[in-house]
Protein backbone atom coordinates (compact mmCIF):
# COMPACT_ATOMS: atom_id res chain seq x y z
CA UNK A 1 0.00 0.00 0.00
CA UNK A 2 2.87 2.36 0.84
CA UNK A 3 4.37 1.68 -2.58
CA UNK A 4 1.20 2.88 -4.34
CA UNK A 5 0.99 5.93 -2.06
CA UNK A 6 4.55 6.87 -3.00
CA UNK A 7 3.88 6.45 -6.74
CA UNK A 8 0.70 8.54 -6.46
CA UNK A 9 2.56 11.36 -4.69
CA UNK A 10 5.33 11.22 -7.29
CA UNK A 11 2.74 11.49 -10.06
CA UNK A 12 1.16 14.54 -8.38
CA UNK A 13 4.55 16.19 -8.00
CA UNK A 14 5.46 15.72 -11.67
CA UNK A 15 2.02 16.90 -12.78
CA UNK A 16 2.35 20.10 -10.77
CA UNK A 17 5.79 20.77 -12.19
CA UNK A 18 4.50 20.34 -15.74
CA UNK A 19 1.55 22.66 -15.10
CA UNK A 20 3.73 25.40 -13.60
CA UNK A 21 6.35 25.33 -16.36
CA UNK A 22 6.10 28.65 -18.25
CA UNK A 23 5.44 28.80 -21.95
CA UNK A 24 8.57 29.32 -24.07
CA UNK A 25 9.31 32.97 -24.81
CA UNK A 26 9.16 34.33 -28.34
CA UNK A 27 12.52 34.02 -30.04
CA UNK A 28 11.77 35.44 -33.48
CA UNK A 29 9.44 38.04 -34.91
CA UNK A 30 7.52 35.25 -36.64
CA UNK A 31 7.06 33.51 -33.26
CA UNK A 32 5.96 36.77 -31.67
CA UNK A 33 3.31 37.30 -34.35
CA UNK A 34 2.06 33.71 -33.92
CA UNK A 35 1.78 34.17 -30.15
CA UNK A 36 -0.21 37.38 -30.61
CA UNK A 37 -2.80 36.25 -33.14
CA UNK A 38 -5.53 38.10 -31.20
CA UNK A 39 -4.00 41.28 -32.61
CA UNK A 40 -4.32 41.55 -36.42
CA UNK A 41 -0.95 42.19 -38.05
CA UNK A 42 -0.32 45.52 -39.79
CA UNK A 43 2.94 45.40 -41.74
CA UNK A 44 5.21 48.31 -42.63
CA UNK A 45 2.99 50.84 -40.85
CA UNK A 46 5.34 51.77 -38.03
CA UNK A 47 7.65 54.73 -38.69
CA UNK A 48 11.23 53.79 -37.76
CA UNK A 49 14.83 54.39 -38.80
CA UNK A 50 18.31 54.04 -37.31
CA UNK A 51 21.51 56.05 -36.95
CA UNK A 52 24.94 55.45 -35.48
CA UNK A 53 28.46 56.77 -35.31
CA UNK A 54 27.55 60.47 -35.46
CA UNK A 55 29.23 63.13 -33.32
CA UNK A 56 27.58 65.64 -30.95
CA UNK A 57 24.09 64.09 -31.06
CA UNK A 58 22.98 61.26 -28.74
CA UNK A 59 26.62 60.27 -28.30
CA UNK A 60 26.99 57.05 -26.33
CA UNK A 61 30.31 55.20 -26.57
CA UNK A 62 28.88 51.97 -25.11
CA UNK A 63 25.73 52.08 -27.25
CA UNK A 64 26.46 54.14 -30.37
CA UNK A 65 23.49 52.89 -32.46
CA UNK A 66 20.01 54.41 -32.06
CA UNK A 67 16.90 52.84 -33.58
CA UNK A 68 14.31 55.64 -33.66
CA UNK A 69 10.57 55.10 -33.87
CA UNK A 70 7.34 57.05 -33.53
CA UNK A 71 5.12 55.41 -30.85
CA UNK A 72 1.82 56.90 -32.10
CA UNK A 73 -0.27 57.99 -29.16
CA UNK A 74 -1.33 55.10 -26.92
CA UNK A 75 0.96 52.47 -28.50
CA UNK A 76 2.49 49.97 -26.07
CA UNK A 77 4.54 46.74 -25.88
CA UNK A 78 7.50 48.12 -27.82
CA UNK A 79 9.80 45.35 -29.08
CA UNK A 80 13.05 45.20 -31.05
CA UNK A 81 14.15 42.38 -33.39
CA UNK A 82 17.29 41.88 -35.49
CA UNK A 83 18.91 39.37 -37.85
CA UNK A 84 22.27 37.65 -37.41
CA UNK A 85 23.61 38.90 -40.76
CA UNK A 86 22.81 41.09 -43.74
CA UNK A 87 22.70 38.18 -46.20
CA UNK A 88 19.29 36.86 -45.10
CA UNK A 89 16.02 37.77 -46.81
CA UNK A 90 14.89 40.97 -45.02
CA UNK A 91 11.25 40.01 -45.64
CA UNK A 92 11.62 36.67 -43.82
CA UNK A 93 10.31 37.48 -40.34
CA UNK A 94 11.63 34.18 -38.94
CA UNK A 95 15.15 35.60 -39.35
CA UNK A 96 14.56 38.40 -36.82
CA UNK A 97 15.40 37.48 -33.22
CA UNK A 98 14.02 39.43 -30.27
CA UNK A 99 16.63 41.44 -28.37
CA UNK A 100 16.23 43.39 -25.15
CA UNK A 101 17.62 46.92 -25.45
CA UNK A 102 17.26 50.12 -23.42
CA UNK A 103 14.22 52.02 -24.71
CA UNK A 104 14.72 55.77 -24.39
CA UNK A 105 12.11 58.55 -24.81
CA UNK A 106 13.07 61.83 -26.49
CA UNK A 107 11.13 65.04 -27.11
CA UNK A 108 9.17 64.27 -23.94
CA UNK A 109 8.21 60.83 -25.24
CA UNK A 110 6.87 61.95 -28.61
CA UNK A 111 9.65 59.89 -30.17
CA UNK A 112 11.60 56.97 -28.74
CA UNK A 113 14.71 54.99 -29.62
CA UNK A 114 16.32 51.66 -28.78
CA UNK A 115 19.96 52.08 -27.78
CA UNK A 116 22.25 49.37 -29.14
CA UNK A 117 25.89 48.34 -28.81
CA UNK A 118 28.22 48.55 -31.81
CA UNK A 119 27.97 45.78 -34.41
CA UNK A 120 30.78 44.03 -36.27
CA UNK A 121 28.82 43.60 -39.50
CA UNK A 122 25.72 45.07 -41.10
CA UNK A 123 22.39 43.52 -40.08
CA UNK A 124 18.65 44.07 -40.51
CA UNK A 125 16.30 45.08 -37.70
CA UNK A 126 12.62 45.86 -37.12
CA UNK A 127 10.49 47.44 -34.39
CA UNK A 128 6.99 46.46 -33.29
CA UNK A 129 4.27 47.77 -31.00
CA UNK A 130 0.59 47.20 -30.25
CA UNK A 131 -1.90 49.98 -30.96
CA UNK A 132 -5.67 49.97 -31.38
CA UNK A 133 -5.74 46.19 -30.80
CA UNK A 134 -3.40 45.65 -33.74
CA UNK A 135 0.21 44.50 -33.93
CA UNK A 136 2.24 46.97 -35.99
CA UNK A 137 5.70 46.22 -37.36
CA UNK A 138 8.12 48.53 -39.14
CA UNK A 139 9.82 48.18 -42.48
CA UNK A 140 13.21 46.49 -42.41
CA UNK A 141 16.01 48.81 -41.26
CA UNK A 142 19.55 48.20 -42.45
CA UNK A 143 22.11 48.97 -39.74
CA UNK A 144 25.13 50.32 -41.63
CA UNK A 145 27.13 51.48 -38.63
CA UNK A 146 30.44 50.16 -39.96
CA UNK A 147 30.18 51.02 -43.65
CA UNK A 148 28.30 54.34 -43.52
CA UNK A 149 28.35 55.93 -40.05
CA UNK A 150 25.86 58.77 -39.71
CA UNK A 151 27.18 62.26 -40.38
CA UNK A 152 26.35 65.14 -38.01
CA UNK A 153 26.83 68.42 -39.87
CA UNK A 154 24.87 71.58 -38.86
CA UNK A 155 26.91 73.63 -41.35
CA UNK A 156 24.81 72.13 -44.16
CA UNK A 157 21.68 73.98 -42.96
CA UNK A 158 20.62 77.52 -43.89
CA UNK A 159 17.74 79.33 -42.16
CA UNK A 160 15.98 82.20 -43.96
CA UNK A 161 14.01 84.30 -41.47
CA UNK A 162 12.68 87.06 -43.69
CA UNK A 163 9.33 85.94 -42.29
CA UNK A 164 10.23 85.67 -38.62
CA UNK A 165 7.45 83.27 -37.60
CA UNK A 166 7.64 81.30 -40.85
CA UNK A 167 11.35 80.50 -41.28
CA UNK A 168 12.53 78.58 -44.34
CA UNK A 169 14.99 75.76 -43.70
CA UNK A 170 17.14 74.52 -46.58
CA UNK A 171 19.94 71.99 -46.47
CA UNK A 172 22.40 70.03 -48.55
CA UNK A 173 23.32 66.35 -48.44
CA UNK A 174 26.58 65.59 -46.71
CA UNK A 175 29.22 63.05 -47.69
CA UNK A 176 26.51 60.40 -48.22
CA UNK A 177 24.14 61.35 -51.05
CA UNK A 178 21.70 58.44 -51.07
CA UNK A 179 19.00 60.12 -48.98
CA UNK A 180 15.48 59.34 -50.19
CA UNK A 181 13.44 61.36 -47.68
CA UNK A 182 14.03 63.98 -44.99
CA UNK A 183 12.47 64.17 -41.52
CA UNK A 184 12.18 67.60 -39.88
CA UNK A 185 11.37 68.40 -36.25
CA UNK A 186 10.85 71.81 -34.66
CA UNK A 187 10.87 71.79 -30.84
CA UNK A 188 10.77 74.40 -28.09
CA UNK A 189 13.06 74.97 -25.11
CA UNK A 190 11.07 72.43 -23.06
CA UNK A 191 11.75 69.71 -25.66
CA UNK A 192 8.13 69.70 -26.78
CA UNK A 193 7.70 68.68 -30.41
CA UNK A 194 5.88 71.44 -32.27
CA UNK A 195 6.04 69.93 -35.74
CA UNK A 196 7.22 66.67 -37.27
CA UNK A 197 7.19 66.43 -41.04
CA UNK A 198 8.69 64.49 -43.95
CA UNK A 199 9.62 65.93 -47.34
CA UNK A 200 11.33 64.61 -50.45
CA UNK A 201 12.74 68.08 -51.06
CA UNK A 202 15.68 69.64 -49.21
CA UNK A 203 13.49 72.45 -47.96
CA UNK A 204 10.77 73.05 -45.37
CA UNK A 205 8.99 76.23 -44.34
CA UNK A 206 7.27 76.43 -41.00
CA UNK A 207 4.27 75.83 -41.19
CA UNK A 208 3.73 75.38 -44.91
CA UNK A 209 2.68 71.81 -45.77
CA UNK A 210 2.71 72.14 -49.56
CA UNK A 211 5.73 69.85 -50.00
CA UNK A 212 5.10 67.68 -46.92
CA UNK A 213 4.46 64.02 -47.71
CA UNK A 214 3.86 62.87 -44.11
CA UNK A 215 2.87 64.89 -41.04
CA UNK A 216 3.14 63.21 -37.63
CA UNK A 217 1.79 66.27 -35.79
CA UNK A 218 -1.47 66.81 -37.64
CA UNK A 219 -3.36 68.99 -35.17
CA UNK A 220 -5.95 71.74 -35.32
CA UNK A 221 -5.14 74.56 -34.93
CA UNK A 222 -1.77 73.93 -36.60
CA UNK A 223 1.47 74.60 -34.69
CA UNK A 224 2.66 78.21 -34.49
CA UNK A 225 5.84 79.93 -33.39
CA UNK A 226 5.84 82.79 -30.88
CA UNK A 227 7.83 86.00 -31.03
CA UNK A 228 10.92 86.28 -28.78
CA UNK A 229 11.30 82.54 -28.22
CA UNK A 230 14.10 79.99 -28.74
CA UNK A 231 13.58 76.85 -30.81
CA UNK A 232 15.56 73.93 -32.25
CA UNK A 233 15.44 72.50 -35.76
CA UNK A 234 16.36 68.83 -36.18
CA UNK A 235 16.79 67.10 -39.53
CA UNK A 236 17.41 63.47 -40.47
CA UNK A 237 18.26 62.41 -44.02
CA UNK A 238 17.11 58.82 -44.49
CA UNK A 239 17.92 56.29 -47.23
CA UNK A 240 15.51 53.77 -48.78
CA UNK A 241 16.70 51.08 -46.34
CA UNK A 242 15.83 53.40 -43.40
CA UNK A 243 19.41 54.18 -42.35
CA UNK A 244 19.98 57.80 -41.29
CA UNK A 245 22.87 59.21 -43.31
CA UNK A 246 22.69 62.80 -42.10
CA UNK A 247 21.68 64.52 -38.86
CA UNK A 248 21.50 68.29 -38.44
CA UNK A 249 20.52 70.01 -35.21
CA UNK A 250 20.57 73.78 -34.94
CA UNK A 251 18.97 76.35 -32.61
CA UNK A 252 17.15 79.43 -33.89
CA UNK A 253 15.07 82.17 -32.35
CA UNK A 254 12.24 84.52 -33.34
CA UNK A 255 13.67 87.78 -31.96
Question: HEC states along 81-143?
Answer: EECCCCCCCCCCHHHCEECCCCEEEECCCCEEEEEECCCCCCEEEEEEEEECCEEEEECCEEE
Q: What is the pLDDT of residue 21?
A: 43
Q: Which CATH superfamily is domain 29-143 in?
A: Immunoglobulins (2.60.40.10)
Taking the CA atoms of 161, 165, 166 and 171 in sequence, report the sign of the dihedral they define.
positive
| CA–CA separation, 154 and 79 (whole Å) | 32
| Half-sphere exposure at residue 187, Cβ-oriented, CA atoms within 13 angstroms | 18
pLDDT above 70 as % of the chain: 90
pLDDT at 191 over 60: yes
DSSP 163: S
For residue 182, the SS3 value is strand
* pLDDT confidence of residue 25: 56
What number is the average pLDDT over the span 70-76?
95
Domains 29-143 and 151-253 share a fold: yes
Q: To the nearest whole number, what is the mean pLDDT of the chain?
A: 92
- Collapsing DSSP to helix, strand or coil, 29 comes out as helix
Residue-range domain boundaries for the chain: 29-143, 151-253
Per CATH, is 151-253 categorized as 2.60.40.10?
yes
Give the predicted TM-score (pTM) of the model: 0.89
pLDDT tens sequence across 23-43: 445 699 999 999 999 999 999
What's the sign of the alpha-carbon dihedral 117, 245, 180, 130? positive
Rounded Cα distance between 181 and 239, Å, is 7
pLDDT for residue 44 = 87
Amino acid sequence: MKKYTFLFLLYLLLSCQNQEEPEPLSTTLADYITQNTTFPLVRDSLIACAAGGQEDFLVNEERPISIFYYPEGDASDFQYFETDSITVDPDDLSQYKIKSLPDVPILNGYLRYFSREAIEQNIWCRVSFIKDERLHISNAIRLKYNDLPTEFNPALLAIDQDENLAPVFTWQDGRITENAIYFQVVSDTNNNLLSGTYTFEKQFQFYNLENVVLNIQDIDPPPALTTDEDYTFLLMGVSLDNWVNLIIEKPFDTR
